[in-house]
Structure formats: structure tokens, C-alpha cells
A and B are shown apart, each in its own frame.
Chain A
């Protein structure tokens, strides 16, 4: 039988029994595709012209990817815009929830909250709440597994068969977790400090492997690999161009191959007013702001050499803005801890900055909070132990280490490689019932006569908080979104004046000022070309232009009142008019008409 079919039948079988069950312990408050559609419709219905919705792509599974536009007044698509993109990485449901909640908070704040009102009258926000709706739907399926790929078939394991070996729920708990197989050839052992957690045996330190650790399921295609090619095609968050991982599982048959990916790219093409992008997903640069690094050798960084090549880091001139927004993020959201960013590999965030040239920020939104271990010893002793441990590590002496191990035989050391697992295990124990599935035996057809247990962290729970936390997370994110909107460049004409220099000759002066926080263009934006420069136009009405230019393009103007002065000299009739206008899709428009006198 076709393995993909077997898998879908298995799912269908479970569907009959399971209630709308879902990701263990956290799913209340998360919206499946249908719920999300209803939320979007309600948003549009409740707020009239303030909210617009555009379908930008359709997934292979037939689901719409929408962009929600929120702004008040006319000509909103010509204002500097913030684009929020969420859930391009399928399992990152929390981003999707926050995005739609922020949309609601913005829309309902208009007219009630003066700050929001002002932001929506001078700017515009576009929100793509669920960029990979096919993958996200796996969160709500009756057998829950972390799906990163959209619907469709692709050959993830490159064996020229598609979707022939997906997961199976062996213990019937509605979750795809892990399985450990007692096997002396295995590389894994149960950790001493917490035997529920698995780590690789350190053979060089004399440890001996006891288990094979595999994804929960059977080897449907008999290739001695488990669940190596389940349903699904493309990870939307791996299909963009910056550091695209060629031939990697889920990265797609080629760069920008997915309908969702192209829909987002075409949205950028159609909206040159996108000045900044905020991506909710595994990639972070707000807790750990991106830093400029000088690349050595040829290529890699134009600040290093003139030879061109893919950029390996941000440009130095942009770094302070990442630092500042990172500080703002921590302050406004109160988030703590240092999540390491997901890899930059074909993701939306790095593409938005490096290839589309936009200010781009990314947040993981949530991670398992740091949870102290419960211990019998009092805290002073613990601190002393830690100091001692530090000291002996500093000496880097093997004998000392083994002596230390011997001393602490009673309570085994926590192993460095499992730090986050210990923490998450503790947190699940008191916050997410079933967040860790304890190992239980199953009979496995592939391993007759061998002990096989199923268990491990429940899918999704380490990336997505319990639904009850979504409101407070959204409130913090809302503050940061407002901060981003308020930071967009906004140009103004100042000191506009006519100077009569005699003989029907007039000098006109004007200053173009940027009242926003960001420069009108980032350093990468100047190079990437797509974010537009300011076009400064001088319109005559029958006068003769003696000095100055009718059209010119202005490079970046710093924020915080950064200015450039211009002047024109004209000969013309007193009482006649001239007009000045400065405009850029990413920095706004300002114009003024003057009478010569």
C-alpha cells in the first residue's frame, strides 16, 4: 500500500475517536484555519474601512494567505508601512495568534487610544497572520505532529519516492513524540540526573550507548529509517533566498518555488511603501540584535573589500538601529532570557533585510521561561558549589573533574548538553500537563523482542505557550508593534521661504527633515535599491529656473530631525506660484506651494 495513504488513513482513523484534541495542554485559545478566517472576517466586519483584507496567495492545500491592512483615511498605501509576517514557520502558532490579536488591538484602539489613532492616520500596518496555513493546521489535527511543510508531496529523503514514510501514533495519545529502542548498538542513554531525558553517550568518556532514539512511527518503506519522508512539500520559512539551503529537506525544489513564498514577495513588489518588517517566527534579532562583522578575504562584505559576494553580515551603519530596537523590545515586552535565533536559511526575516533592503526585526514571541531547579540544599550552598565548579573548570584539569564527579555521586550533575531540556521539563511539570510524555512501553512491529518506549516532549509545547498566556504576550507585542510604527521615517518640509533678490528674481529655500526614528533608508536599503529614495520635485508655473533642479533623488536622511537644505533661483512674475514636494513610499510625502513676492 502507498505509505502516504496509509498515513492519512491512520489519521482518519484517529479522527473518529479523538475530540478536537490537539497539542497537549496548550491548544485552548489557538485558532485553526476556519477560526482564523472567522476572526479575519469579523475584523473586517467590525471596523469597516479601517481594515482591508487581501488574499495574496493560495496554498497547495487550498487555503488562503491573507494580508490585513489597517489604516485610516485615503491614500493609505502611499504611507510608510510596517509589515508583520507570522507563522511562515508552520509550528510557530504563537506568532499567528499574536499577529491577529495585535490586529484587533490596533483596530479597536483607533478612536479610543490617541497614540494608536495617530499611528493609523499617519502610517499603515499590513499583517500576514498565517503565511503557512497548511503546515499550521497540523497543530489542530487529531494526531498532532510538528509539521513545517505545506501540503503537497515532496521527496524529503531524496529516495525518489514521495511521502512514503510518515509518523504513526503508536501509543494512541494523539501525539507524535519520540521512541527509544533498547539496543546495545544505539548511541543514546537516559540521562542520570533526569532519566526521562535522553542524550548521546559520550563514548570517549567511557559511556556506553543503550538506546536508539527515533521519531514515533513505523518504517513504512522498509529503508531502516523512521518517518524520514512524511506528508508535505515546502517549508515556507526555508524557501526564500538569503542563505537558501539547496537540496535540504523542505527547502523546495528551488528558491522561491512555493506559492506562499511568491505571494509574499509579490506583496513587497506591490507595496514599495513597506519601510520595516516584523517577523514572528523562530528567528530572533531583538533579544540578540544582529551585529556587523567584518568579513575577511574577497567577497562576503563590501565594507571589507570591493569584490562582491553574498553578504555575511549586516552593514555597520545599520547596527545601532538593531541595538536600539532590541532594547526597546526588552523594555516594552518585559521578555527575559536569551533565545538563540533559529538559523538564517531561506527564512523571511533575513530575506526582508538582506534582499529586500527593509528594516527587519524578528521575535520568537515566547520561549519556556527559566525555571529554577528545586533543591534540598539552601541557596548559599548552591552558589558555593557553582563557584567551586567554575573554579575547577577554569583550571581545565581532568583529574579535578573526576574528583568532583566522585564527590557528587549521590546527586548526578546536570549535563551541559541538556540544560534547556532540564529547564523545559521542570516548567512543563508545573505548567503544561502532559507537556512531557513519560516513556511507556509499546509493541513495535519493526522491533520484535526489543523493548520500545514512546515518550518525550509533546509536539509544539516548547515553541508555543499555553493558550491562556496569549493575551498577555499579545499585549507586550502590541507595544512593540506601536513602537516600530512610530519609528518609521516621516518626512516634512521645514523653513520653506521665498527670498526676493530683486529684478523679479527669487530664491526659494526649503529643508527636508525626517521626523521619524529610522533614517529614510537603511544602509542595506541604499544598496538593495527597492526601498525608494526621496524624490524632491520643484514645480514651476511659467517662471524660468535659473538655479536648482526640477527633479532630484535624495539619499538617506537620518531620523530624529535629520535634514537637508535645498534652494532654487527663479525669475518670474510677482504673485505667481511655485510648488515643492518631497515624497518617498517609505518615508511619506510633504508638499508646499509658495507665492513669489
Chain B
């Protein structure tokens, strides 16, 4: 009996740790697994997907549990009036939040690419729960602020979760658009013929068809070989011709427009860029994000989570934007660490390694605002068996994984239904939350690894400090004050894109404690070369402080101090000495 109870509570302890713990269970009942809070104040299970209400609920619970480091707000409303929830995480007791170097994170711009939301939420949760536990997290929250928008397409998310869809739909939000140009809007979308919430494939037996059943897995349809008779016709995705135009599923909300082609950087119309809507910023969700980022020049890092393919993407989206070498060095350095953190992921450039994108989100955040920006394509088939999958004709890796690890849950078996136009057909295939979204037991690991990369980026955002202040008497009651300002991290206070286009104001280094006679930017400290700043010498403008670099300023002051030197960098924070 005694033994049995022990075993039982041990099992619970294991389970709770894995799922995120339980407030009722005391810390002495468990042994903390490294990287996870053993006894979190906010219980969240990271093996499932959350809808709009749940996102707000998790944010609210975090805010209540950690009022000094987490705040929930909304940056605007979606087309259908849902809040665009933002969770701000920082140490609110340490410095002004909006003066700290900011990391902006969002997910789910494409409605079907849902797990960006959970990775974002996990990040907020992890930071809140691990502060006071892990000193590295404490200093991160002292020095940085995280602006986390778990879903910037909540309407599309609800549609994906609660309406009949497949793993690719909807990509859009739900703003009504006439996708087929016939003058009526959204009149012929998918039809969930068997009512299971999944839009799978339709097949019908036909001795003259060109498809056969795979000999390895009867759920898989493959093309007959060139010299082999077939057994079936494939009729496309579940649906019928709702508007009598002879076409099936040609105008639903699924692909009306692409929210990630709606951004005002090198936007192009549909004949150049598929998915472009009427004009950049035509969607309320896009505008809300843009207005927030423009109003927060302290943002020095962007991560916008997509799925799938296992990519750490950076711009440019189009070949004509050639990123400057100074910025590429930073991207490459962070990207290389990302590949190490994320086995199976590749660091890639959008246009040259993937495809051309005009008017993408990360293109605007870097091109238009000069911010180092990545987009991770979450999940990759590498994760099924932790190796790059081989192409096979008869079997597919996601089906094998489903058989061996998901016990056949992830695929709808072929079942007969009545089709209003085609008569009896069979429907079957992959469920919508499989192949692109991540299976439950892998989700926490995927969330943690991607978060780790993003935290690494946040750590490497500029961090300016007044390094040293030297004084030297010049006689006549004058003092020369020389201050070395350091950027302790890889990212410069201004990217080259920012410098060339004058996006963010210079770093200001100012002095108090006496009358300023003259002020200089020191070009070469050892040689004593300096350039005077005649206008407003009390506050010296530093155009940029490079990654792991310094800038030196000098004043001639009346009096002999004490002097206080303050650096105020939009993207590198504020520091005084």
C-alpha cells in the first residue's frame, strides 16, 4: 500500500513537471527538471493549442501572478473586433520599460500557422516563472523589454480552430474578399462533408482513374506508374460547387489575401506578388502592429513566428535589397547560434533560399525601421525521427510517424459520404493540426528551443554602458572630461540600414555637474583626434556604437566636478556614471 502510493505520487510529480506543474503541489514533492519551473504560479499545459479567449486568459493569469514583470494590453482590434493581445514582460521595478532595448515577438500571421502563438506564450510564461530562479533571466528582464503578441491574426486563428479547414487553410484573416473576381464574396469555400472539422481529400473509384492505394499504408493515395492501371480519381479538397460556376472551393476565406504581403516595404500588386491585397496596410491587424512599432523606437529585435520547414529566415525578401555587410555580420552571427540551438533548422535568406516576397513583415521591420528581424518557420519533418527524411514513393514519413508514435490518430481514414454533385465519394487524409502544427508531445521542446534562440537574440541586442569617465585638469578652473561609452553586445545601436536612412536618432551622451565650454566626439583616443560639436555640446550625438564596440566623447568643463555622464540610446538603453 505504502509502496503503491509512492509510485502513484511519483507518477503525478513527473506528469505535473512535464505539463507545467501544479500550484497545489509543494516544491518538496518534485525535483526540478532543468529549464522548467518546478512549481509554476501559472499552470499552463504546453501540449495543446489555445484559442483567442485562452490567450487572453493566460495573459491575464500571468499579469495577476507577476504584476511586477508582466502586463497584458491590446495593440488594436482585429477585423472582427478581437483584441490583438500584447504581453509585455520586463522588470517593471527596474528602469522605464519603453527606454529599454525592446524585443518584439509575434506569431500566427498566417491563420493556419498556429504554433507561433504557443511559442510566444511559452516565452512570456517562461520569463515570468524563471525570474528570481535564474540570474540570467533576471538580468535579461532588468535590461530588456519583451513585447509579445501571441497572435496577430486572431480572426483567422478562430476560423482555423473552429471551422472546417486543412493544414494549409486559412492563410488569410477573414476580411471578406472576392477571390475569384466574379463579383460575389466568399461564396464558394470548403464544405466539410463528413462534419469532422477537417477538410481532407475526396476520392472516387474509377477503373480508368490514374491513382492507386499505396501498398505500404492504405490511407495514402499515390499516382499509378506510367504503365500501370489506376483505381481512383482524386477530386480535390472536400467541397462542392456552391455557386454553380463549374468550379469547387474557388472563393472561400482560405486564401483571399496573404497578411504577410500587406506591409509597406517594397509592396507590389498581385501581378507581381501573389496574395497582395488592395494596398499595404489595408488590414487593421497590419496597421496596429505598424503603429506600435513606429511608436516604440526602442525595439531592436523582431521575431515573427511562422510554420513550417525548420528555417531561421532573414531578409531581404527581394534581390534588389542587398543588406549591408555590417548588418549581415550580425545576422550571420546570431543565425549560426540559432542553427546550433535548433537542430534540423537552417539559417536562410528569404529571396535566395526560399522565394521572393514583396511587402513582407520582416522586410518592413528591417527595411522600413532598421531592426534586426528574423522569422522562424517552426517545425520540420526532421523532428519525426530526428533525421532528414528520405523521399519514398509508397510511404510518407508523416504517415509512418502517425502509425508508430501517434497510434493512427492524425489521419482521417477513408469514409463514404454523399456529395451533392458527385454522388457517393470517400473522404480522408491528414487532419488540419498535423504536418505543419506540431504533435503535442514535441510542442514544449519546439517552443523552448525557439524561445532560446529568440532570447539569445534579445540578449545580443545593444546594451550601452558608461564604461569609464576620466578627468584631467586644464588649469584656469577648467576640466577635461573624457567618457568611453561601450556597447556590450553583438548588435549595434544602429544597423547600417538605420544609419543610411536616418531612422533612429543618434545615441545621446550628456554631462551634468558644471558648465560645458566645448564638447567633442573623440575619433581616435590615442592620437587625440576629436571633432567638436558646436551645437548643443552638453549633449553629444553619437551616430552609432557598433557591436562590442565603444564610442568616446569629451568635454571641456568649467569646474572640477563631480560630473555625471549619461548615455541615452534609443535601442541600447540608458546608463549613467
Is A447 an interface residue, CB under 8 A from the partner?
no
A241-B279, A529-B181, A585-B183 known; A254 and B364 CB under 8 Å?
A: yes
Query: In whole Å, how far is B207's beta carbon from the nearest beta carbon of chain A?
Result: 27
Query: In whole Å, how far is B475's beta carbon from the nearest beta carbon of chain A?
Result: 30
Binds B, one of A14-22, A283-291, A546-554: A546-554
Query: In whole Å, how far is A306's beta carbon from the nearest beta carbon of chain B?
Result: 12
What is the 8 Å Cβ interface bit string for chain B, positions 498-512, against chain A (1 contact, 0 not)? Answer: 000111011000000
Is B64 an interface residue, CB under 8 A from the partner?
no
Query: In whole Å, how far is B411's beta carbon from the nearest beta carbon of chain A?
Result: 35
Is A494 an interface residue, CB under 8 A from the partner?
no
Query: In whole Å, how far is A540's beta carbon from the nearest beta carbon of chain B?
Result: 10
Whether B270 and A309, one on each chain, are in contact in the complex, defined by CB atoms closer than 8 angstroms, is: no
Is A268 an interface residue, CB under 8 A from the partner?
yes
A538 closest partner in B (C-beta): B244
User: Which parts of A496-531 form the interface with B (CB within 8 Å)?
Assistant: 527-530
B179 closest partner in A (C-beta): A529
- For chain A, give the interface size range: 35 or more
Whether B246 and A310, one on each chain, are in contact in the complex, defined by CB atoms closer than 8 angstroms, is: no
Whether A549 and B246, one on each chain, are in contact in the complex, defined by CB atoms closer than 8 angstroms, is: yes
| Cα(A553)–Cα(B272), bound, Å | 22
Query: In whole Å, how far is A239's beta carbon from the nearest beta carbon of chain B?
Result: 10
Whether B271 and A246, one on each chain, are in contact in the complex, defined by CB atoms closer than 8 angstroms, is: no
Query: In whole Å, how far is A587's beta carbon from the nearest beta carbon of chain B?
Result: 12
Query: In whole Å, how far is A577's beta carbon from the nearest beta carbon of chain B?
Result: 18
Is B282 an interface residue, CB under 8 A from the partner?
yes
| Cα(A404)–Cα(B290), bound, Å | 62
Query: In whole Å, how far is A518's beta carbon from the nearest beta carbon of chain B?
Result: 18
| Cα(A529)–Cα(B279), bound, Å | 13
A254 touches which of B178, B183, B368 (Cβ 8 Å):
B368
| Cα(A549)–Cα(B244), bound, Å | 9
What is the 8 Å Cβ interface bit string for chain B, positions 179-218, against chain A (1 contact, 0 not)? Answer: 0111100000000000000000000000000000000000
Whether B270 and A256, one on each chain, are in contact in the complex, defined by CB atoms closer than 8 angstroms, is: no
Whether A265 and B282, one on each chain, are in contact in the complex, defined by CB atoms closer than 8 angstroms, is: yes
Whether A528 and B279, one on each chain, are in contact in the complex, defined by CB atoms closer than 8 angstroms, is: no
A256-B264, A549-B246 known; A302 and B271 CB under 8 Å?
A: yes
Whether B264 and A532, one on each chain, are in contact in the complex, defined by CB atoms closer than 8 angstroms, is: no
| Cα(A104)–Cα(B177), bound, Å | 36
| Residues in A neighbouring B182, C-beta threshold 8 A | 532-533, 535, 551, 553
What is the 8 Å Cβ interface bit string for chain B, positions 331-373, against chain A (1 contact, 0 not)? Answer: 0000000000000000000000000100000001001100000
A256-B281, A308-B272, A355-B279 known; A241 and B267 CB under 8 Å?
A: yes
Is B303 an interface residue, CB under 8 A from the partner?
no
What is the 8 Å Cβ interface bit string for chain A, positions 139-163, against chain B (1 contact, 0 not)? Answer: 0000000000000000000111000
Query: In whole Å, how far is B418's beta carbon from the nearest beta carbon of chain A?
Result: 22
What is the 8 Å Cβ interface bit string for chain B, positions 283-294, against chain A (1 contact, 0 not)? Answer: 000000010001
User: Which parts of B50-83 form the interface with A (CB within 8 Å)?
Assistant: none
| Residues in A neighbouring B183, C-beta threshold 8 A | 272, 532, 535, 583-585
Whether B245 and A262, one on each chain, are in contact in the complex, defined by CB atoms closer than 8 angstroms, is: no
B297 closest partner in A (C-beta): A160
Is B166 an interface residue, CB under 8 A from the partner?
no
| Residues in B neighbouring A535, C-beta threshold 8 A | 182-183
| Cα(A354)–Cα(B367), bound, Å | 23
| Cα(A255)–Cα(B269), bound, Å | 13
Beyond A160-B502, A354-B269, 5 additional contacts (C-beta under 8 Å) are A255-B279, A527-B270, A532-B183, A551-B246, A585-B183
Give the A-binding residues of B (Cβ under 8 A).
Answer: 178, 180-183, 243-246, 264-265, 267-273, 278-282, 290, 294, 356, 364, 367-368, 501-503, 505-506, 535
27 contacts between A and B (CB under 8 A): A158-B502, A159-B502, A160-B502, A222-B535, A241-B264, A241-B267, A241-B280, A246-B265, A254-B281, A254-B294, A255-B279, A256-B279, A257-B264, A265-B278, A308-B273, A309-B272, A310-B272, A311-B272, A355-B269, A356-B278, A529-B270, A533-B181, A533-B182, A551-B246, A552-B245, A552-B246, A583-B183
